[in-house]
Chain A
Amino acid sequence: EVQLLESGGGLVQPGGSLRLSCVASGFTFSSYTMSWVRQAPGKGLEWVSGIGTGGDTYFRDSVNGRFTISRDNSKSTLYLQMNSLRAEDTAVYYCAQVTGSGSYWWGQGTLVTVSS
């Protein structure tokens, strides 16, 4: 059974930093492009960042230069380093496999709240 388990969310002040982690199991993690998708309270889904199997990275414009995505295939773990956080970054962040062929999977999400 495929599982994606996120952690690292919490309350942080504007301008602060947070690192999210996502531990994957049940599939060959190194073979898949992985993404982070977020959902602000009461809003729709918004893709944030992705990383390919070769380490190529992609970001939405609003987080480019502030967020970094990385992966450790030996630990089947995806990361999202978030710096210079803003109130508008407040959301549930999902680890997800939503590109390429085959099955698509989502974690249960971790809540990030940016507030003073």
Chain B
Amino acid sequence: DIQMTQSPSSVSASVGDRVIITCRASQGIGSWLAWYQQKPGKAPKVLIFPASSLQSGVPSRFSGSGSGTDFTLTISSLQPEDFATYYCQQANSFPVTFGGGTKVEIK
């Protein structure tokens, strides 16, 4: 199975801050990586897939980069609605695997 290691597990930040979340795959997955945002009680919302393609309707302050084993999600200027938990997911092969999540909290 491909292991997805996401860091940090949590981050405290202020509105306007730049936030970077990283995800590392245990083996190469090309660009088969998705990033999700999840708010309490809601289903995950896809932000980016594949690795650097912003999904329709997602604000441009979100960006993704990387390929192979190392990936990043960047929020260029954190907004109040961005406080949530973020997950990476590899879609290269079954079993699908997710990172452990990064909770972005208000400083």
How far does the Cβ of B58 sit from chain A's closest Cβ, in whole Å?
A: 12
CB of B49 within 8 A of CB of A104, answer yes
CB of B87 within 8 A of CB of A99, answer no
Scan B48-62; emit 1 where CB is below 8 A from any A CB, else 0. Answer: 011000010000000
A43 to chain B: closest residue by CB: B101
In B31-50, which residues have CB < 8 Å from any A CB? 34, 36, 38, 42-46, 49-50
A27 at the interface (CB under 8 A from B): no
CB of A60 within 8 A of CB of B100, answer no
- Contact residues of B: prevailing secondary structure: loop
Question: What total count of A-B pairs have CB within 8 Å?
Answer: 52
Tell which of A47, A101, A105, A109 touches B97, judged by Cβ atoms closer than 8 Å: A47
In A38-74, which residues have CB < 8 Å from any B CB? 44-47, 50, 58-60
We find that the number of chain A residues with CB closer than 8 angstroms to chain B is 22
CB of A98 within 8 A of CB of B96, answer yes
- Interface set of B (CB-CB < 8 Å, partner A): 34, 36, 38, 42-46, 49-50, 55, 87, 89, 91, 94-101
Q: A45-B98, A98-B89 are in contact. List 5 more A-B contacts (CB 8 A).
A: A45-B36, A58-B94, A103-B55, A104-B34, A106-B45
